[in-house]
């Protein structure tokens, strides 16, 4: 299959192993999956403090790297056709203390953590005082979503989105991290659509994130490529 000018690849349903599952969860069994885990970020926090990275863009970068590594997290419906984006970028929330509201920004991802830290800082500096829901002029379809609730920890978190039938982008929510038994734990919730994802795919995502957090010192060189 050839890449289109809109930067996605159509899915050949006749040859896709999930064809029947997709049809079931797009029809009478429409459903999403919500899961919350605790991520051990002890090593990650120590490393980012040493190198001067910011925590929020760092965890967004790690999630984006994993999302871009697996087709099931890059799916969308375009013109009534299931497609896979060639790449996907993070759309994240920033909070406005003066109005107690938030805005949604996206930043470009190219696989380089230094580039992303810079892109994040530039976007927040440019648009951080704009109280609009979408303050950035440009808009993208190929995004997934990250939000944060840094004021409270949680053991479960659920987002209910109406008309989810064709909404396949993952939605991540970060809670307040805390110390327990000598570790720093981050509550992380994700919602995905059952049409394109199963529990297996979520487990792999969470396991890969934990591995990255544990091995961030070695991986930091790889992220620079």
Q: Tell me if residue 112 falls in helix, strand or coil.
A: coil
Catalytic one of 70, 193, 194, 201 = 194
Residue 114 annotated in active site: no
C-alpha 93/C-alpha 53 separation (Å) is 18
Mean pLDDT across 110-120: 92
CA torsion sign for 37, 25, 91, 68 is: positive
Q: What share of the chain is helix, strand, coil (3-state, %, to 5)?
A: 35, 25, 40
The strand ranges marked E within 41-170 are 75-78, 81-85, 89-96, 101-106, 143-148
* pLDDT on residue 2: 39
- Cα–Cα–Cα angle for 186, 197, 211, rounded to 5 degrees: 35
**47-95 pLDDT per residue, tens:** 999 989 999 999 999 999 999 999 999 999 998 899 999 999 999 999 9
């Amino acid at each position: 299959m050839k890449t289109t000018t809109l930067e996605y690849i159509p899915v050949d349903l006749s040859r896709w192993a999930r064809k029947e599952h997709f049809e079931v969860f797009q029809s009478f069994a429409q459903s999403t999956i919500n899961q919350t885990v605790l991520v051990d970020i002890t090593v990650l926090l120590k490393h980012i403090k040493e190198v001067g990275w910011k925590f929020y863009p760092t965890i967004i970068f790690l999630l984006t790297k994993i999302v871009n590594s697996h087709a099931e997290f890059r799916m969308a419906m375009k013109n009534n056709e299931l497609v896979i984006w060639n790449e996907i970028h993070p759309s994240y929330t920033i909070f406005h203390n003066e109005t107690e509201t938030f805005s949604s920004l996206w930043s470009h991802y190219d696989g380089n953590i230094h580039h992303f830290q810079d892109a994040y800082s530039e976007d927040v500096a440019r648009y951080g005082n704009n109280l609009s829901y979408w303050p950035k002029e440009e808009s993208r379809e190929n995004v997934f979503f990250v939000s944060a609730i840094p004021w409270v920890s949680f053991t479960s978190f659920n987002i209910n989105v109406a008309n989810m039938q064709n909404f396949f982008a993952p939605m991540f929510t970060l809670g307040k991290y805390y110390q327990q038994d000598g570790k720093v734990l981050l509550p992380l919730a994700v919602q995905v659509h059952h049409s394109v994802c199963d529990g297996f795919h979520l487990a792999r995502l969470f396991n890969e994130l934990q591995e990255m957090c544990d091995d961030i010192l070695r991986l930091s060189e790889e992220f620079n490529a």
